[in-house]
Amino acid sequence: MARVLIVGAGLTGSLCAALLRRETARPLHLTVWDKAGDSGGRMITASSPHNSQCTVDLGAQYITCTSHHAKKHQSFYDELLAHGVLKPLTSPIEGMVMKDGECNFVAPQGVSSIIKHYLKESGADICFRQCVTQINLRNDKWEVSKETGSPEQFDIVVLTMPVPQILQLQGDITNLISERQRQQLESVSYSSRYALGLFYEAGTKIDVPWAGQYINSNPCIRFISIDNKKRNIESSEIGPSLVVHTTVPFGVTHLEHSTEDVQELIFQQLEDILPGLPPPVATKCQKWRHSQVGWNWKAATDCMNIIKL
């Protein structure tokens, strides 16, 4: 049986695993490795240490479906809607720019539930805290090394992490990428930003008329969402949660600062925007070094097949 390794338990890795299981007649042994401690990648949902049901989406907030993709990816949307993984976004997001024919969806159980849905469907063996460092060719197999533990051999390896992390890998993989491909891949840029998740006690009121708001007038904060309100899961037993995304200039300037310092700066700015916000019972500050891909990603799409070894 062919052994397939998918590196990355984000949306791309989980969907890739589910599609390989669904559409390949050949028997495959699927394995997914991720360096993180949970699935989700940039679609991670964090839980309060005081109540695992109090959650916040720290990366992607909602899924925008264009009219083109509504047709092209209809079966995916139908499946996720039928399982209750996605629901239409009905709460108000101030400052959101909508194009004709677009609609938005949220994941009531948190955006990482999309990834968990596909991973479950794939039946893959999933291993966390496995950081891939090297890929070498040994006797017609790909030998994959990680930070801890022995290397393992696979027939096929699919890399789904952001391009800069692929370019950091050592071993024979470096010789597979031509100089031209490397230049194109190196030209792919990503924005950087921070996300701060705030968890509150049950019964806390956050009295604003919106579920989310884009901010244009603050140097630090770009987006705020009352996350449980955005997902339409307000409850008297579970406290509300709030997420703040910083602007990209703030993220870039503070990329190498300590998370504690950055969290304090975000708090100060948040107090200006939402004065009198009650103190949270827990917080989670997340640095997104590779947040969203920049304008020049198309330059590299023609050499993206190199990531499929």
Residues that bind ligand FAD (CB under 6 A): 7-13, 33-36, 41-43, 59-63, 130-132, 160-162, 165, 193, 195, 245, 288, 291-292
Question: Which residue is it, tokens 């603050």?
Answer: 218
Beta carbon nearer to ligand FAD, 160 or 213: 160
What is the distance between the alpha carbons of residues 86 and 77, in angstroms, rounded to a whole number? 8
Residue 124, Cβ density class (10 Å: 0-12 exposed, 13-18 middle, ≥19 buried): buried
Residue nearest to ligand FAD (CB): 41
Beta carbon nearer to ligand FAD, 165 or 259: 165
Smallest separation (angstroms) from ligand FAD to the CB of 134: 10
Contact 198, 242 (CB under 8 A): yes
Beta carbon nearer to ligand FAD, 55 or 275: 55
Smallest separation (angstroms) from ligand FAD to the CB of 126: 11
Smallest separation (angstroms) from ligand FAD to the CB of 36: 4
Smallest separation (angstroms) from ligand FAD to the CB of 222: 9
Smallest separation (angstroms) from ligand FAD to the CB of 276: 26
Beta carbon nearer to ligand FAD, 11 or 238: 11
Beta carbon nearer to ligand FAD, 140 or 256: 256
Question: Which residue is it, tokens 């190196």?
Answer: 186
Beta carbon nearer to ligand FAD, 13 or 280: 13
3-state secondary structure the chain: CEEEEEECCCHHHHHHHHHHHHHCCCCEEEEEECCCCCCCHHHCEEECCCCCCCEEECCCCCEEECHHHHHHCHHHHHHHHHCCCCEECCCCEECCCCCCCCEEEECCCCCHHHHHHHHHHHCCEEECCCCEEEEEEECCEEEEEECCCCCEEECEEEECCCHHHHHCCECCHHHHCCHHHHHHHHCCCECCEEEEEEECCCCCCCCCCCCEEECCCCCCEEEEEEHHHHCCCCCCCCCCEEEEEECHHHHHHCCCCCHHHHHHHHHHHHHHHCCCCCCCCEEEEEEECCCCECHHHHHHHHHHHHHEC
Beta carbon nearer to ligand FAD, 236 or 305: 305
Beta carbon nearer to ligand FAD, 16 or 28: 16
Smallest separation (angstroms) from ligand FAD to the CB of 90: 16
Smallest separation (angstroms) from ligand FAD to the CB of 118: 10
Smallest separation (angstroms) from ligand FAD to the CB of 60: 3
